[in-house]
A and B are shown apart, each in its own frame.
Chain A
Amino acid sequence: MKSVVTTVIAAADAAGRFPSTSDLESVQGSLQRAAARMEAAEKLSGNLDNVAKEAYDACIAKYPYLNNAGEANSTDTFKAKCLRDVKHYMRLISYSLIVGGTGPLDEWGIAGQREVYRALNLPTGPYVAALSFARNRGCAPRDMSAQALTEYNALVDYVINSLS
């Protein structure tokens, strides 16, 4: 799984050398930002259900046609699945905050995403609307510290970019 530490180790291993000073500097740089990332991950995972529900509600409010018969949010089963998807993205964002890299999002969220949505005939616009809401809803210092919010926003932006 891609993170600063695993990237450094993979590079050192490919060259067959012990971790060098600059390798250790890279890891230390990641650890210095880790406190803010941990804070964001803790706040997000402690409130995951509410964050996902709000984002989901916002996207349905923006695209009410999704409730029409035959659309992606028309039945209770579909509604539950839409909410679950948003929740999955928020959970993977909390994982990526912990790891300190985009590894969890890349491997479990983004890989194959386009193909799945195409096969199921799902629009990606509403996902972007939900995630944009979740991004703009965050507020420092009400929700978390400014640095933590920066780390969180960067990852939400990463997902939005993958969907657009």
Chain B
Amino acid sequence: MLDAFSRAVVSADASTAPVGDLSALKAFVASGNRRLDAVNAIASNASCMVSDAIAGMICENQGLIQAGGNCYPNRRMAACLRDGEIVLRYVTYALLAGDASVLDDRCLNGLKETYAALGVPATSTVRAVQIMKAQAAAHIADTPSEARAGARLRKMGSPVVEDRCASLVAEAGSYFDRVISALG
């Protein structure tokens, strides 16, 4: 498992050279608190994100919870919720590390083959991940939609930075995209 720092070191070691450009890592350090807040925003809302993503996936495809569907009976629905949480957890780890290696090695490696063997439909899985991607973006930027959340609207705090951590939203999005492309 690597993080942003050890990734730079491993690639410098390949050419037995000192790490040349430290500016990206210095920026990582300087915006470290933003990253920790982003991780906290996801971790604190994780169970809500997962159940909403799976519920959204089922709303769009009711066949999943009818007899013969992949979320029927409860045992398989529970497995689905568990897998949603696992994917979100590894994306959170990758966001904390600033590197996708933990997600690749421990979650995505062999996932597609496992789901194919178990008969889990890839399109539904991808849809749930897409919903979690949108949720993560809203939680990191702290811009939950009042129209959709209604009485359940929940904000992490008052915004402290102008750009609302746009770079971290993009980075988290890239990890969700990695999951989606690994499943496709």
Chain A residues within 8 Å of B, Cβ to Cβ: 1, 3, 5-6, 8-10, 12-13, 16-21, 24, 27-28, 31, 34-35, 38, 41-42, 44-46, 48, 88, 91, 94-95, 98-100, 103-104, 108
Chain B interface size band reads 35 or more
Q: Quick check: is B13 within 8 A (CB to CB) of the other chain?
A: yes
Q: Quick check: is B181 within 8 A (CB to CB) of the other chain?
A: no
Q: Of A9, A16, A88, which is within 8 A of B97 by CB?
A: A9
Q: Of B3, B18, B102, B106, which is within 8 A of A45 by CB?
A: B18
| A95 x B9 contact (CB < 8 A) | yes
| A103 x B6 contact (CB < 8 A) | yes
Q: Is the interface of A mostly helix, strand, loop or mixed?
A: helix
A1 and B92 contact, Cβ closer than 8 Å, known pairs A9-B97, A41-B19, A45-B19: no
B177 to A: closest C-beta gap in Å? 21
Cα distance A1–B6 when bound, in Å?
7
A144 to B: closest C-beta gap in Å? 14
Cα distance A79–B97 when bound, in Å?
41
A38 and B29 contact, Cβ closer than 8 Å, known pairs A19-B92, A94-B18, A95-B13: yes
| B43 x A91 contact (CB < 8 A) | no
Which chain B positions have C-beta within 8 A of A17?
89
Cα distance A9–B96 when bound, in Å?
8
Please name 24 pairs of A and B residues whose Cβ atoms are closer than 8 Å in the assembled complex, sorted by A: A5-B97, A5-B98, A10-B1, A18-B92, A19-B43, A21-B40, A24-B36, A24-B96, A27-B32, A28-B33, A28-B36, A34-B29, A42-B22, A46-B18, A91-B17, A94-B18, A94-B19, A95-B13, A98-B5, A98-B19, A99-B9, A104-B6, A104-B13, A108-B13
Which chain B positions have C-beta within 8 A of A8?
96
B74 to A: closest C-beta gap in Å? 21
Which chain A positions have C-beta within 8 A of B29?
31, 34-35, 38
Cα distance A10–B102 when bound, in Å?
9
Residue in A closest to B3 when the chains form the complex, CB atoms: A5
B103 to A: closest C-beta gap in Å? 10
Q: Quick check: is B55 within 8 A (CB to CB) of the other chain?
A: no
A68 to B: closest C-beta gap in Å? 30
A13 and B106 contact, Cβ closer than 8 Å, known pairs A6-B97, A28-B33, A41-B19: yes
A1 and B36 contact, Cβ closer than 8 Å, known pairs A6-B97, A98-B19: no
Residue in B closest to A42 when the chains form the complex, CB atoms: B22
Q: Of A1, A27, A35, A98, which is within 8 A of B1 by CB?
A: A1
Which chain B positions have C-beta within 8 A of A44?
18
**What 9 pairs between A and B have smallest CB-CB spacing?**
A45-B18, A31-B32, A18-B43, A1-B6, A5-B3, A34-B29, A95-B9, A24-B36, A99-B5
